[in-house]
Amino acid sequence: MKRDYFRYIVLLVSVLFTAVTRSDTLVGNMTELNTAIDAAQPGDTILMQNGVWNSVVIDFDADGLLGQPITLRAEVDGQVSLEGASKLQIAGDYLVVRGLVFTNGAASSGSVIEFRGGSSDLSNNSRLTECVMIGFNPVDPTVNYKWVSIYGVSNRVDHCHFSGMNHIGVTLTVWPTSGGPPGYARIDGNYFGDRAPGTGNGFETIRIGTSGVSDQEAGAVVESNCFYRCNGEIEIISNKTIGNEYRRNSFVECAGQLTLRHGGSCRVEGNFFFGNNVSGSSGVRVIGPNHVIVNNYFADLEGTGTRAAIAIMNGVPDSPLNRYLQATNDVIAFNTFVNCEETFAIGTESSGGDTTLPPADCVIANNVVLSNRGPLIDEINEPVNMLYEGNIMFGAATGLPPTPGIIVVDPLLSLASDGLWRPGTNSPVLNAALGSYPDVLIDMDRQSRETGSKDVGADEIDESAPLFSPLGPEDVGPRWMRSSTLLINGFDVGNDGATVTDRVVSTSSTFHRVVCP
C-alpha cells in the first residue's frame, strides 16, 4: 500500500511539473517565430498571430516527446493565412501543426508542406491537422510541385481541407525511404475536392510511394476521407508500395479511381464510390498480387474497360517495377454494385501492348450486382483459374455462359432512407455467402457479420442503425470550418469548401445537390 501511495505521489508531481513548465508563446513575425522554435521544449505551444504571413518559409525544427508534442498553431484556427511563396517544413519528432490556411500563393518546385527539413532530416511521429490549402496554384499550370509530402515514420495528416488544385503535381504524396522501414503514414478525416483535369500523368490526389520502391512495405492507412470531383487523372489514389489499407473513404463524382498500380498485398475495405453518372467515374483498378477488396459499395459509375467499377489488368512477363505485375491471388468479395456501366472488366490491357499475362488464381465471391447496363462481366482476356463463388447478379446479361458461382436472381435491393440500395429480410442474399472468409468480420456499416453463414454483398442485413455511413464534406476536414462561414480566395469554406454556386452536402449520409445563395 505504501509503495502504491509513493508511486501515486511521484506521478502527481510529474504531471504538475509538466503542466507548470509548458508554455504558450505568441509570435508576430518570422524573427520571433524562429526564436520561439529554437527555444521550444516538449509540451510547448507556439501561436502564430492572426493575419497574413506573406512569403514565409517556416522551418519547424524541434523535438517533442511522446505525450508532450511541440505545437505550432494559429492564434485562432483559420485566422492565420500563409500566402505568396510560403512554405512549411516539419522537421523533428512529436510535432503538431494546426489551424493554418495556405491560399493566394504558389510554390516554384518541391512541396508547399514537407515532413522533413532537408534530404536527411526527416520528421517522425508528427502531425498536420485542421489546416487548409485552397487554390495554391502557379500562373503556369505546367509548374510541377506537390502540396504535401510525407517523409519519415508514423506521421499523420488529418482533418485538413485541400481543394482547387489545377497544376501538375500530386496533392499529397507519401515518400518511403529507399531500403528503410515502413513509414506507417496515416491520412484520415480529410476533404480532397475540385481537382481540375490534368493533361497526363502526375495529377493524382494521393500517391503512396513510387515505382522504384514499390517492392517495399509502406503500411500506410488512408481512411475516412471524402474525395469530391477529384478529376486530375484516372488515378485519384495511386498505390505504389506494399501493405497499405484504404478503408471507409467516400468518392463522389470523381472521374477516376483508386488504382493499385504497383506493389501488392493491399486491402480496400468499406469504401463508397458514388459516380452519379459522371463520365469516367470508376471504382478500383487491380494490378499485382494478393490484394483484398471487400465490403465496398459502387453506384452509378460510368467507366468501362480500365475504368470499370472493378478492372483487373493483365500483367507483363518478368515485369520491371515500373510496368505491370500480374494480378494473382487477388480477392474481390462481399461488395455491392448498383447501376454501373461495366461492373467487372477482367484482363484489361495497357497501351504498350506488352500486358500479355491474364489474371491468375483470383477470386470473385459473394458480390451483389444489380444493373441493366452491361454486360456485367467483360472477360477481355480469359483469366486463369478464376474462382467465382456465391455471387448474385441480376439485370443485364452476365457476359459469361452459365457459370458455377454466379446465380442470376433478383437480389431484391431497395433504396433505403439513407440513399443506399440495401437488401430486405426477404432478399436471397440472406445467409447465402459461400466459402470461408474469416477476415470478413464486419460489413460496410461496420456492423458484425454472422459467424456462420454471411449475407452476400457489402451489407449484412441488420435492422439496427449503421455504425458507419458514407462521408460528405460536412463530416470531414477542419472542425472549425464546419459551423462558420469563411471566404478564402473566392471559396466559401464555411461548410465544405465547394464553390458558392455548387455544393454537395451530406444529410443523414444522403448526398443532395443544392444551390447556395
**How do residues 313-345 score in pLDDT, each as one tens digit?**
999 999 999 999 999 999 999 999 999 999 999
Residue 495 has pLDDT above 70, yes or no: no
**How do residues 365-399 score in pLDDT, each as one tens digit?**
999 999 999 899 999 999 999 999 999 999 999 99
Give me the phi and psi of 141, to 5 degrees please. -70, -5
Strands (E), 231-316: 235-240, 245-247, 250-252, 257-262, 267-269, 272-274, 284-286, 292-294, 297-299, 310-313
What does the mean pLDDT of the chain come to?
90
CA gyration radius, the chain: 24
Categorize the per-residue pLDDT at 18 as very low, low, confident or very high, splitting at 50, 70 and 90: very low
The residue with greater pLDDT, 329 or 498, is 329
pLDDT value at residue 515: 21
DSSP H or E run through 6: helix 2-21
Give the DSSP letter string of 61-79.
EEE-BTTB-EEEEESSTT-
8 Å CB contact between 97 and 128: yes
3-class DSSP assignment, residue 422: strand
**How do residues 205-248 score in pLDDT, each as one tens digit?**
999 999 999 999 999 999 999 999 999 999 999 999 999 999 99
Of all residues in the chain, what percent carry a pLDDT higher than 90?
Answer: 86
Residue 497 has pLDDT above 90, yes or no: no
Residue 503 has pLDDT above 60, yes or no: no
Average pLDDT, integer, range 258-285: 98
Q: Three cell numbers at 499? A: 464553390
Residue 12 has pLDDT above 80, yes or no: no
pLDDT value at residue 23: 83
**How do residues 128-164 score in pLDDT, each as one tens digit?**
999 999 999 999 999 999 999 999 999 999 999 999 9
**How do residues 391-436 score in pLDDT, each as one tens digit?**
999 999 999 999 999 999 999 999 999 999 999 999 999 999 999 9
pLDDT value at residue 484: 52
Q: Three cell numbers at 475? A: 463530416
pLDDT value at residue 194: 97
pLDDT value at residue 490: 40
Q: Three cell numbers at 114? A: 514537407
8 Å CB contact between 423 and 445: no
Q: How many whole angstroms separate alpha carbon 124 and alpha carbon 155?
A: 6
Q: How many whole angstroms separate alpha carbon 236 and alpha carbon 203?
A: 8
8 Å CB contact between 43 and 68: yes
pLDDT value at residue 279: 97
Categorize the per-residue pLDDT at 483 as very low, low, confident or very high, splitting at 50, 70 and 90: low
Residue 360 has pLDDT above 60, yes or no: yes
Residue 178 has pLDDT above 90, yes or no: yes
CA angle 185, 187, 190 (to 5 degrees): 165
